[in-house]
């Protein structure tokens, strides 16, 4: 499963937004996603349920859930997530809380990041992008 590219979308006045058709094709029959707000404000990660289950199990396997710090980490990790169901038209509903946390006022970007999708406000997404020269230099350094 590989989500690639970035696609603009608009959130309507009820908080609904169409998940891009190219991403829905990758999801196939699965109309369930897990939305997790990031600790770094400004975007959310949308996981297919199967990917979320892998991440959740991997995290749990590294924690001692009898340890108070580990309990707090796991609690915060999971409490920042919620199940999202796509409607028959391929739309998801963003709660007011999530729209505020994301800084969404209408224009959003769905960015494919391999196994998951990121959801950004248009302005915040653009602010994170490197210019082409910096991106090429960074890739060159990484791939040495």
**Residue 128: band (very low, low, confident or very high) from pLDDT cuts 50, 70, 90:** confident
**Residue 41: band (very low, low, confident or very high) from pLDDT cuts 50, 70, 90:** low
Mean pLDDT throughout 14-31?
91
**Residue 111: band (very low, low, confident or very high) from pLDDT cuts 50, 70, 90:** very high
CA distance 41 to 60: 24
The whole-model pTM stands at: 0.88
136 CA to centre of own chain: 25
User: What letter does residue 55 receive in the DSSP assignment?
Assistant: H
What sections of the chain are H helices per DSSP? 21-27, 49-62, 68-79, 96-102, 122-128, 132-142
pLDDT score recorded for residue 130:
84
User: What letter does residue 135 receive in the DSSP assignment?
Assistant: H
Mean pLDDT throughout 73-102?
92
In whole numbers, what is the pLDDT of the chain averaged over residues? Answer: 91
CA distance 144 to 142: 6
118 near 110, Cβ under 8 Å? yes
What sections of 20-114 are H helices per DSSP? 21-27, 49-62, 68-79, 96-102
CA distance 106 to 13: 8
């Amino acid at each position: 499963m590989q989500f690639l590219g970035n696609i603009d979308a608009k959130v309507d006045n009820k908080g609904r937004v169409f998940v891009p058709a190219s991403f829905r094709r990758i999801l196939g029959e699965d109309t369930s996603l897990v939305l997790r707000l990031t600790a770094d404000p400004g975007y959310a990660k949308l996981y297919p349920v199967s990917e979320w289950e892998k991440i959740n199990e991997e995290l749990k396997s590294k924690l001692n859930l009898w340890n108070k710090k580990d309990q707090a980490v796991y609690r915060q990790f999971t409490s920042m997530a919620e199940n999202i169901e796509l409607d028959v038209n391929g739309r998801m509903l963003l709660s007011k809380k999530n729209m505020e946390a994301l800084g969404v006022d209408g224009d959003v970007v769905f960015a494919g990041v391999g196994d998951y999708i990121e959801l950004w406000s248009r302005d915040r997404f653009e602010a994170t992008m490197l210019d082409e020269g910096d991106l090429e230099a960074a890739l060159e350094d990484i791939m040495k």
